[in-house]
Structures are given as C-alpha cells and as structure tokens.
C-alpha cells in the first residue's frame, strides 16, 4: 500500500523497502514548509486492515490523506468506503486522494480511480514523485 511510506517520505524524506506492518496507528508531527509558508501538522498513520477507527485518529481532524495503491485493485475499490467513514465521523473536510506506487508500471491508473469520482494525485513514496505537490496542496488548503 504505502500509507506509512508516504508519511515517512513527507516527514523524514526517507524510504524503506522492508515492509513493517503498522500496529494500530502511528502519530507523526512536524512542520511542512515551502518558501515562506509553514504549517504545523499532526498526522495519524493508521493500520488499514480494519474499517474501525479509534476516535483519537480522527477527532478534530482538519482533513485527510486517502491513500490507494495503483498495483492493488481492492485498495482503489475501497476508497469510497473509507471516504464514507470519514464523512460519518468527521463530516466534510478536505480529502486528498494519493495514488501510490507511481514508480511501478501498475495495472490501475488515474482513469480507473476517476470512475469512482475521485481526482487523485499520482505519487511514489519510493522515488518521491508527487510528494512535494501533495505537500503544496495541503499548504494551499490550510494557509
Ligand atoms: N515500489 C514502491 N513500493 C512502495 C511504495 N510505497 C510503499 N512501498 C512498499 O510497499 C510496502 C508497504 O508499504 P507501507 O507504507 O508499509 O504500507 P501501509 O501498510 O499502507 O502502511 C513496503 O514494503 C514499502 O516499501 C512506492 O511508492 N513504490
Ligand atoms: Mg502502515
């Protein structure tokens, strides 16, 4: 998938090939800065294997990054399910859909995601592709 890898790329600008499952969730805190814009951000990197979300992971959230994996059909097919959970728990907040693993010649693409009504940004936490753009979108939304 890539939720943890994207968080690591955003906050540490690093990538790890080895897969370490996320137990429950991991909080990240840091400052995202571009030019003269800086935003303090707290991000919960959740374990996506269950649709149950602890209130701590979403209460007071100002927005969400929704991650899918371009090599994994079910991750794309379940985007709207996760979006509905967000809508139910938080209400309407900005949601940015990140389509990860753009470095791989993947089976699914932005057109496939569009069929579900989502505009996604292609990213790769491995190469860093699209990550600056994702950060820019966040900064522009909240600053
Ligand atoms: N090729 C490639 N592999 C990735 C990318 N992002 C994550 N991975 C790998 O996919 C696996 C799962 O990533 P992870 O971030 O732990 O997924 P999570 O379960 O959603 O948190 C790890 O082995 C990562 O190294 C990417 O953009 N490209
Ligand atoms: Mg993870």
> Structural domains in the chain?
3-142 (3.40.50.300)
Return the residue matching tokens 């809508």: 87
What tokens does 82 get? 């996760």
Residues 33-72, buried b or exposed e (16+ Cβ, 10 A)?
eeeeeeeebebbbbebeeeebeeeebeeeebbbbbbbbbb
| Residue 6 CA, ligand 2 centroid: distance in Å | 9
State the pLDDT at residue 51.
Answer: 83
State the pLDDT at residue 86.
Answer: 95
| Residue 5 CA, ligand 1 centroid: distance in Å | 5
State the pLDDT at residue 34.
Answer: 87
Cβ–ligand 1 distance for 17 under 6 Å, the answer yes
State the pLDDT at residue 20.
Answer: 95
Q: What is the pTM of this model?
A: 0.97
CB atoms within 10 A of CB 130: 20
Running along the chain, 143 residues long, what does each successive block of 10 average in pLDDT?
97 96 95 92 93 91 98 97 96 97 95 97 98 96 94
């Amino acid at each position: 998938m890539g939720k943890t890898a994207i968080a690591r790329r955003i906050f540490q600008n690093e990538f790890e090939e080895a897969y370490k499952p996320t137990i429950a969730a991991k909080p990240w805190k840091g400052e995202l800065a571009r030019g003269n814009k800086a935003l303090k951000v707290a991000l919960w990197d959740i374990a996506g294997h269950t649709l149950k979300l602890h209130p701590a992971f979403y209460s007071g959230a100002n927005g969400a990054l929704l991650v899918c994996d371009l090599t994994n059909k079910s991750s794309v097919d379940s985007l709207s399910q996760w979006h509905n959970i967000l809508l139910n728990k938080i209400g309407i907040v900005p949601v940015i859909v990140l389509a990860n693993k753009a470095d791989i010649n993947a089976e699914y693409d932005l057109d496939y995601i569009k069929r579900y009504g989502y505009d996604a940004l292609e990213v790769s936490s491995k190469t860093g592709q699209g990550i600056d753009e994702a950060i820019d979108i966040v900064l522009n939304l909240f600053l």
